[in-house]
Amino acid sequence: MAGGTWGSRNLTGHIGFLTKLLTLQLGTMKQILITGGCGFIGRYVTEELLAQGYGVRILDNLIEQVHGDATAAVPSGVELVKADIRDKAAVTDALRNIDGVVHLAAEVGVGQSMYEIARYVGGNDLGTAVLLEAMIDTPVSRIVVASSMSVYGEGVYRQADGSSAGAIRRRGADIKAGRWDPAAADGSRLVPGPTDEHKPVDLASIYALTKYAQERAVLIFGEAYGVDAVALRLFNVFGPGQALSNPYTGVLANFASRLLNGQSPMIFEDGRQQRDFVHVRDVARAFRLALEQRSAAGHVINVGSGHAYAIADVATMLAKAMGVQHLTPEIMGKARSGDIRNCFADISKARELLGFEPQFRLEDSLDELADWVRKEQAVDRGAEMRRQLEERGLVS
């Protein structure tokens, strides 16, 4: 009897999966679960999917550090399941009648991950494991998981003659001495270049470790269970609506919070480190395309702008947009444990597999961001963040 019961359940599951797979192939996948859907990116993904005729259900635990009171942000007609991603019963219930999943639920912050280790591993990796287990008995056609550029560690570097510099990691002694830029073995200068998905990962923080575990778990699960799985490695996401009072959120939100409170942006190292800033609306569109494009299944894909910006320049640009250009960046001359020097995206694969093209460049979007920031209130917790890191020896 036990064997017969298992067989019936297994057959039912396979029939359900095949039905959903056929639905995807016919282009009628319409019901999407967004984990972490009340977060910054999740709200824009919800908006993007609704505009394209999808039905959306959100699972989110609405933690105060990230959301404050985010329930008002849930659009009409969107069901909100308030629950922790590690609650398997709630996750299983949220998966009912769902065709695809956008998995955004995660703890976010390189610095904080270095001392709240159990929180990050539990929320990101255990949470993903619970979701995937629930999907065994409640199958979906496709899952798209948010990974991070942090998995690369340092980006791609070339030597002066244009040849590849290979794997690069800064030495602690050099960082303490204020030698911020990686150098070749002979001490010659290295030139940073666009980082593509072929670059081997180099995990420099607990946050990066958890994001890599998330993406690999999702792709392994997809291969084993015949579920289309896609991992999007997001670069620095910005735009109106980011949590201004969370010091571990995006760089631009941190700068905006400081500027709004009459404080200079705090910048680690010398401010010349380079990052790729991608607008949240472009990111939302990338998630929709990853749900729709069959050629993306099984792939890891960069989502960025394809442009490199020095951090100090970004702070100066934002201060000008906010009309407080007298608040020049505070260059700290210290480094945070887990930080890297340069990483910006090669988005050729996103163009090829998703048909993705960024529409909102940073320099053209700061006025919109500044207009939104002026209407907000923010508690500047930058000094608190710095103190927490310094107390634990994570700033050198």
- φ/ψ of 35, rounded to 5, equals -80, 140
The rounded Cα 209 to chain-centroid distance in angstroms is 13
Residues 6+ apart with CB under 8 A from 89: none
Give the C-alpha separation, 149 to 256, whole Å.
22
The tens place of each residue's pLDDT in the chain, 396 residues long, gives 333 333 333 444 454 455 544 444 444 569 999 999 999 999 999 999 999 999 999 999 987 655 554 445 688 889 999 999 999 999 999 999 999 999 999 998 888 888 899 999 999 999 999 999 999 999 999 999 999 999 999 999 999 888 999 889 888 888 989 999 998 888 888 999 999 999 999 998 999 999 999 999 999 999 999 999 999 999 999 999 987 766 666 788 889 989 998 999 999 999 999 999 999 999 999 999 999 999 999 999 999 999 999 999 999 999 999 999 999 999 999 988 778 999 999 999 999 999 999 999 999 999 999 999 888 866 655 565 556 655 566 565
Give the C-alpha separation, 299 to 196, whole Å.
13
How many domains in the chain? 1
| Amino acid sitting at position 233 | R
Question: Residue 17's domain spans which residues?
Answer: 2-391
Give the C-alpha separation, 386 to 393, whole Å.
11
Please list, residue by residue across 309-328, b when 16 or more beta carbons sit within 10 angstroms of its beta carbon and e when fewer do: bbbbebbbbbbebbebeebe
| Amino acid sitting at position 56 | V
In a domain, 396, yes or no: no
Give the C-alpha separation, 332 to 345, whole Å.
26
In a domain, 374, yes or no: yes
Provide the 8-state DSSP code for 173. Answer: H
**E strand or H helix at 372:** helix 362-374
Bridge-based pairing of strands 55-60 and 31-35 is: parallel
**E strand or H helix at 278:** strand 277-279
In a domain, 93, yes or no: yes
> Of 152, 157, 207, 248, which residue is the catalytic one?
207
Q: Is the CB of residue 45 less than 8 Å from the CB of residue 72?
A: no
Give the C-alpha separation, 384 to 135, whole Å.
40
**pLDDT, position 388:** 61
| Amino acid sitting at position 169 | R
In a domain, 150, yes or no: yes
In a domain, 97, yes or no: yes
DSSP strands (E only) in 36-187: 55-60, 79-82, 100-103, 142-148, 156-158
Give the C-alpha separation, 249 to 108, whole Å.
7
- Measured CA angle at 223 (ends 125, 30), to 5 deg: 85
DSSP three-state, residue 82:
strand
| Amino acid sitting at position 40 | F
- φ/ψ of 230, rounded to 5, equals -135, 140
Structure-token match 């999966």, residue found: 17
In a domain, 7, yes or no: yes
In a domain, 337, yes or no: yes
Give the C-alpha separation, 235 to 381, whole Å.
23
Is 248 considered catalytic here? no
Bridge-based pairing of strands 142-148 and 266-267 is: unpaired
**E strand or H helix at 230:** strand 228-234
Give the C-alpha separation, 268 to 28, whole Å.
48
CATH number for the domain harbouring residue 305: 3.40.50.720
**Count of helices and strands (H, E) across the chain:** 15, 16
Nearest-CA neighbor of 342 among 275, 271, 277, 278?
275
Give the C-alpha separation, 90 to 376, whole Å.
33
